Amino acid sequence: MEILDYLNEEIYKIEKDNRFNYPKSNVQVNAPLALIQVDLTARHRALKDVIEFIGTSKTLGEQINDYSDTFRETTKNHRKMNIKVENYTKTAT
């Protein structure tokens, strides 16, 4: 089973649960139901977020390459700035 199938199946189970669709309960009126609803809502949101992240994210290799490119550019820019500062200090003294 693929990860997306598993996540969608878990979302379906939560949405099928009647307690998820009940009006939101109050802890002072029905604490067990309120806690169950909080749990169901949190899991539902987390699963949806994971699906969204998977759909829009790059592969780990692409993320590493992007990070490496950014690091190289930043390092290159810092070196240029240091050279300019060193040259400026040498000419100023």
User: What does pTM read for this prediction?
Assistant: 0.57
CA separation for the pair 38, 42 (Å, rounded): 6
7, 50: one domain: yes
pLDDT of residue 5: 86
- The boundaries of the domain holding residue 33 are 1-57
The domain total for the chain is: 2
22, 52: one domain: yes
48, 76: one domain: no
Q: For 31-62, write each residue's pLDDT tens digit.
A: 999 999 999 999 999 999 888 887 765 565 56
φ, ψ (nearest 5 deg) of residue 22: -65, 155
Mean pLDDT of the chain: 78
The token duo for 50 is 């994971």
Average of per-residue pLDDT across 10-24: 94
Question: Chain-centre distance of CA 35, in angstroms?
Answer: 25
Closest CA to 19 of 45, 32, 37, 42: 37
